């Protein structure tokens, strides 16, 4: 039995690692096509960069295969589930006033379109891919740049640690709960400011369904539009001293801002599906790191590289010193 479980574990791990390396490869290729418009057209891309084209298509096939296997395994599991057992569990939860929660994949498998038809496998796969893969590098990027900024701004780091210590005390083994994170106001300000300066997705795209009339130009339908979040979030008309890391700016309302002035996760019906979970992850990691370590300004400064996901050409460097409670 143990050998069987170990085999399952390594098969899943192997599949995930293949997906991870495929995702990294495809992301780099797409980023190259992103800044070279002629390569955006599949026929030109295949003609001018045949090796990259094959590598991209191979990587996409690996990711699709992995996701489709997960979907099929979950579909079979749901079909084999005992209805009477599920009904009993649901009834027991309802009696205790507890709302039954469903995993994202379960929701998608049981969802229907506006005309009452179930989602196709391709539609489910695309949603799962979005949640699994887009939340991978983006959250890592956000956490890395946030820690970097704290390492370079010792006053901000000290203020945040004092807030964390006042709430959690000196017991570093105390578990973190959701209600804890909601009460850390300065932590939220730090995260907002880090995401403003270093948004994980610095550029987003939209496809115009209808004509868009702007003061200086009118864009026709079916136009692809690039929205530079990197520039929007550093707008001097909205933010005082926009290049400065200043978490306190988010503690009070900004009269010069509008609902779309601070949108590191995009906005509207196509905003980031996992933004609440991402914020929860960032909060948790920052609290845990600062409870155990002091961040030191070591290594080369960051050199932002604006691709699909924000990275640094020089890496994200800092030092760690074991924190001593006195």
List, as residue ranges, the binding site for heme: 272
Q: Which residues contact 90 (CB under 8 A, 6 or more apart)?
A: 100
Annotated binding site: 272
Give CA–CA dist 55/26, Å, rounded.
8
Residue 159 near residue 271, CB atoms below 8 Å: no
Torsion, Cα 106 277 173 185, to 10 degrees, reads: -150
Distances in whole angstroms, Cα of residue 43 to Cα of each of 33, 53, 226: 12, 10, 22
Q: Give backbone dihedrals phi and psi of 81, rounded to 5 degrees, phi first.
A: -70, 140
Phi, psi of 226 (to 5 degrees): -105, 130
As a whole number of angstroms, the distance between CA 245 and CA 249 comes to 9
How far is residue 280's CA from residue 290's CA, in Å, rounded to a whole number?
A: 16
Q: Which long-range contacts (CB under 8 A, 24 or more apart) does 106-110 make?
A: 106/74, 106/78, 109/71, 109/74, 109/75, 109/78
Tokens of 155: 């006053």
The DSSP 8-state label assigned to residue 24 in this structure reads H
The tokens for 315 are 């890496």
Q: Is the Cβ–Cβ distance between 119 and 112 less than 8 Å? A: yes
């Amino acid at each position: 039995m143990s050998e069987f479980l170990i085999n399952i574990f390594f098969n899943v791990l192997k599949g995930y690692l293949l997906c991870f390396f495929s995702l990294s490869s495809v992301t780099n290729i797409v980023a190259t096509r992103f800044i070279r418009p002629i390569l955006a057209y599949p026929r030109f891309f295949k003609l001018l960069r045949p090796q990259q084209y094959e590598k991209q298509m191979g990587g996409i096939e690996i990711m699709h295969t992995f996701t489709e296997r997960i979907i099929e395994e979950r579909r079979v599991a749901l079909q084999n589930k005992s209805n009477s057992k599920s009904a009993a569990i649901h009834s027991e939860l309802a009696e205790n006033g507890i709302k039954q929660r469903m995993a994202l994949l379960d929701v998608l498998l049981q969802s229907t379109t506006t005309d009452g038809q179930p989602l196709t496998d391709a539609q489910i796969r695309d949603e799962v891919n979005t949640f699994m893969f887009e939340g991978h590098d983006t959250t890592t990027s956000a956490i890395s740049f946030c820690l970097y900024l704290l390492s370079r701004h010792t006053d901000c780091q000290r203020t945040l640690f004092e807030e964390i210590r006042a709430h959690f005390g000196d017991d570093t083994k105390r578990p973190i709960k959701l209600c804890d994170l909601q009460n850390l106001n300065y932590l939220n300000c730090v995260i907002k400011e880090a995401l403003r300066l270093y948004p994980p997705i610095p550029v987003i795209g939209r496809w115009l369904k209808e004509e868009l009339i702007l003061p200086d130009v009118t864009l026709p339908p079916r136009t692809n539009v690039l929205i530079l979040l990197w520039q929007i979030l550093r707008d001097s008309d909205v933010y005082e001293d926009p290049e400065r890391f200043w978490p306190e700016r988010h503690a009070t309302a900004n009269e010069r801002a509008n609902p779309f002035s601070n949108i590191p996760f995009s906005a509207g019906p196509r905003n980031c599906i996992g933004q609440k979970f991402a914020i929860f992850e960032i909060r948790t990691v920052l609290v845990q790191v600062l409870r155990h370590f002091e961040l030191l300004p070591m290594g080369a400064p960051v050199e932002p590289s604006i691709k699909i996901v924000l990275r640094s050409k020089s890496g994200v460097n800092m030092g760690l010193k074991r924190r001593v409670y006195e």
